[in-house]
Amino acid sequence: MSAAIRVPARTGEPAPSARRSGSARASRRGRYGVHIFLSAVSLAFLAPLLLAVYASLRPYEETAEHGYFSFPKKLSFDYYREAYTASDMGKYFANTLIIAVPAVLVTLFLAAFVAFAVARVDIRGGLALLVFFTAGNLLPPQTLVTPLYVLFLNVDLPWWMSDSMSLYDSYWALILVNIGFQVGFCVFVLANFMRTLPKEILEAAIVDGAGVWTRFWRITLPLCRPAIAALATLEFTWIYNDFLWALIFISSPDKLPITSSLNNLRGQFLTDYNLLAAGSVLVALPTILVFLLLQRHFVAGLTLGSNKG
Amino acid sequence: MPQRTARRAGGRGTRRFTRRDVVVLGVLLGIPVLLDVVIVWGPALASVGLSFTSWDGIGDIHWAGGDNYEHLVEDYPAFWPAVRHNLLWVAFLGLAATPFGLFLAVLIDRGVRFSRFYQSVLYLPVVLSLAIVGFMAQLLLGTDQGVVNTILDNRNDPVDWLGDSDINLWMMMLAASWRHTGYVMILYLAGLKAVDPALKEAAAIDGANERQTFFRVTFPTLRPVNVIVGVITVIEALRAFDIVYAVNKGRNGLELLSVLITDNIVGEAGRIGFGSAIAVVLLGVSLVFVVTFLVQELRGARGK
């Protein structure tokens, strides 16, 4: 597979892959069509992002006069520096990490165990548990907001945990809400994934006298690594991108996560959209990097199933 | 049942848990269950309770019976449009974006070159926040500097893509689909990779053409993925909020149930009882889909 990728990308000719050599010649013409179609769709999908990058490199006066779809006279990274400093992005980014990293780790751990118990341990009420968690994740967040707000206001925390002395306006609130809300989805996905794993390994482990914890931690979890890696990227981006919870449970501006920092770039009367574009690109960058870096995990997870049959 | 125990009596020991097993199960199931009750189910039930009261969030709570619901259905002008928009959103994602994602997955799965590249590009929008997607929609579709209007060259009479209440909802659904399609594609790609190639070969030997192979052989084996994709499609559609909120706070043709709830609860209106009533309606609509899917899911689980 890696050999196929190393073939110089510039040659336009489709190399007949050994696996499908039988049908390669017949479908060669069709393949060009597929490439043209996929390239067109890819370009359409990339266009808005490229446009935002393009707009962020050009001064406002220029695009205001000629529109965004015009040739550039001047390109610079000035807006990026301005967006980063004007909105104090570094601090907000740190806030997001403080919330997202523990939330993702705890969510995946708890969800993996619940999924294991539901899918691979004969416990009474396993299906009911699955329904309980899955359905919980499907409720629209807006239906939960008010009671949670009142609850968090009334839970006191010592000062070393939260300088607001309550769960409200603390990172704990966001971490808890994100875990409670996301566990359901991860349980659903992981339970489905675990059902595809061969039962025989676990049965052998039971014969060898392995307890529930060993069967979970030493046997099932390592096999779930691809699914967990995929879920981790997904959950990280979701929690990173969330702004509803922070909007409601955080009142101190300096505790807000990064998605809210973009609002600092909106002017009171006039918004410089090119500056906002630079800010958007900066905010989007970490999630794009996480995706591109973990993509290998992701693809490994996707192809794992094919080796099984 | 006797058959089952007979078959598995060999050493499975289904109910024989050691004390340590019971503690592990109790703690590690207890924590997430407790969290889910406190964070999700408790508040959901509390919302149902509050929907029968008139509460402004500060003073005493008064019982109001079904007044909120009556008011909602009869004289709250934004309600029925919001319901219609939400259902349209479900239909659009389900009938356009999801099938398109499946189509792309099938194309890429046929083993074209550069498939990794296509895959990455098409998935990329999924990692963007809806708030940013909403902002990009403004860059593309704005009236004064927007790209689409510049290309159409109608400076004198620009189309107000986001302001005209006849088209702005469609633009928002397109923007939401931009993210949704890639997500669906990656899920189906995973499912397609797991399909046993021997099945396809057998179908080919039996003389099935590519389309028949897909619809009669491949697609039915994708059932678990179909369930997940179905759930995600509906959740995304019913939760749609950020993108509309980023564009114009969900007014003028972009009313959605989620926006109405937020307006009543979070805003200065302080009509928590009334907002909760809308929340219960959204809850009800969601539950119809959720229950349908769960029944499907349970049938599948029982089969294994």
Q: Which of A134, A123, A153, A213 is nearest to B32 (CA)?
A: A134
List Cβ neighbours of A292 (8 Å cut-off, separation of 6 or more): B120
Residue B60 falls within a domain, yes or no?
no
State which residues form the domain around B195.
82-222
Structure tokens that stand for B70 in this block: 């009556």
Strand locations in chain B, DSSP E?
53-54, 62-63
Confidence of residue B92 (pLDDT cuts 50, 70, 90): very high
At A286, phi and psi to the nearest 5? Answer: -60, -45
Would you tell me which residues 191-220 of chain A have a C-beta closer than 8 angstroms to some C-beta of chain B? 192, 195-196, 203, 206-207, 211-213
Q: What is the model's pLDDT at position B100? A: 95
Stronger pLDDT, B196 or B106, i.e. the higher one: B106
- Average pLDDT of the segment spanning B170-177: 90
Which of A66, A132, A146, A168 is most worth mutating to test chain B (most B CB atoms within 10 A of its CB)?
A146
A227 touches chain B (CB under 8 A): no
Distances (CA, A) of B233 to A160, A215, B192, B237: 42, 34, 19, 6
Q: Could you tell me the CATH number of the domain that includes residue B169?
A: 1.10.3720.10
> Considering chain B, what is the average pLDDT of its residues?
82
With a cut of 50, say whether residue B138 has pLDDT above it.
Answer: yes
Q: Which helix (H) or strand (E) holds B275?
A: helix B272-302
CB of A183 closer than 8 Å to CB of B32 = yes
Q: Which of A39, A158, A182 is nearest to A108 (CA)?
A: A182
Dump pLDDT digits (tens) for B191-206. 887 788 888 888 888 8
Residue B17 falls within a domain, yes or no?
no
At A59, phi and psi to the nearest 5? Answer: -70, 150
Which of A138, A212, A294 is most worth mutating to test chain B (most B CB atoms within 10 A of its CB)?
A138
CA dihedral A24, A26, A29, A34 (to 10 degrees): -60
Lowest mean pLDDT across A167-176, A266-275, B125-134, B174-183: A266-275
Contact between A68 and B21 using a beta-carbon 8 Å cutoff: no
**DSSP β-bridge partners for residue B54:** B62
Which residues of chain B have a CB within 8 Å of the CB of A309?
194, 196-198
CB of A236 closer than 8 Å to CB of A297 = no
Residue B102 falls within a domain, yes or no?
yes
- Written as one letter, the residue type at A211 is G
CA dist B171 and B175 (Å) reads 6
CA dist A246 and A96 (Å) reads 10
The sign of the CA dihedral B72, B75, B76, B80 is: positive
Helix axes B272-302, B223-239, angle to 10 degrees: 180
Residue B241 falls within a domain, yes or no?
no
Length of chain A: 309
Residue B251 falls within a domain, yes or no?
no
Residue with tokens 């349980």: A187
- Written as one letter, the residue type at A109 is F
Q: Which of A225, A260, A229, A226 is nearest to A244 (CA)?
A: A260
Would you tell me which residues 8-67 of chain A have a C-beta closer than 8 angstroms to some C-beta of chain B? 9, 14-15, 17, 19-20, 31, 34-35, 37-38, 41-42, 45-46, 48-49, 51-52, 55, 63-64, 67
Cross-chain CB nearest to A180 (options B28, B36, B46): B36
Q: What is the model's pLDDT at position A309? A: 27
Q: Which helix (H) or strand (E) holds A188?
A: helix A171-195
The number of folded domains in chain B is 1
Residue B229 falls within a domain, yes or no?
no
With a cut of 50, say whether residue B41 has pLDDT above it.
Answer: yes
- What are the pLDDT tens digits along chain A (309 aa)? 333 333 333 333 444 444 444 455 556 667 788 888 999 999 989 988 888 888 888 887 777 777 666 777 777 888 888 888 877 888 999 999 999 999 999 999 999 999 999 988 888 888 889 889 988 887 888 888 888 888 888 888 888 888 888 888 899 999 999 999 999 988 988 888 888 888 888 889 989 888 899 999 999 999 988 788 878 887 888 899 887 888 788 888 888 888 877 777 776 566 677 888 888 889 899 888 888 887 766 555 444 433 332
Q: What is the model's pLDDT at position B4? A: 45
Which of B31, B33, B36 is most worth mutating to test chain A (most A CB atoms within 10 A of its CB)?
B36
Which residues of chain B have a CB within 8 Å of the CB of A259?
129, 131
Q: What is the model's pLDDT at position B294? A: 76
Structure tokens that stand for A37 in this block: 């179609």
**DSSP β-bridge partners for residue A166:** A156
The SS3 of residue B148 is helix
List Cβ neighbours of A278 (8 Å cut-off, separation of 6 or more): A56, A79, A80, A82, A83
Q: What is the model's pLDDT at position B154? A: 72
Contact between A143 and B38 using a beta-carbon 8 Å cutoff: no
Q: Which of B40, B8, B268, B79 is nearest to A140 (CA)?
A: B40
- Tell me which fold the domain A90-265 belongs to: MetI-like fold (1.10.3720)
The sign of the CA dihedral A299, B173, B258, A244 is: positive
Distances (CA, A) of B92 to A44, A205, A214: 19, 48, 46
Q: What is the model's pLDDT at position A12? A: 39
Structure tokens that stand for A158 in this block: 């010592």
Structure tokens that stand for B251 in this block: 């007014």
Tell me the whole-structure pTM to 2 decimals: 0.79
Q: What is the model's pLDDT at position B65? A: 80
Q: What is the model's pLDDT at position A270? A: 65
Residue B290 falls within a domain, yes or no?
no
The sign of the CA dihedral A236, A241, A247, A250 is: positive
Which residues of chain A have a CB within 8 Å of the CB of B125?
45, 48-49
Residue B22 falls within a domain, yes or no?
no
At B18, phi and psi to the nearest 5? Answer: -75, 170
Q: What is the model's pLDDT at position A28? A: 66
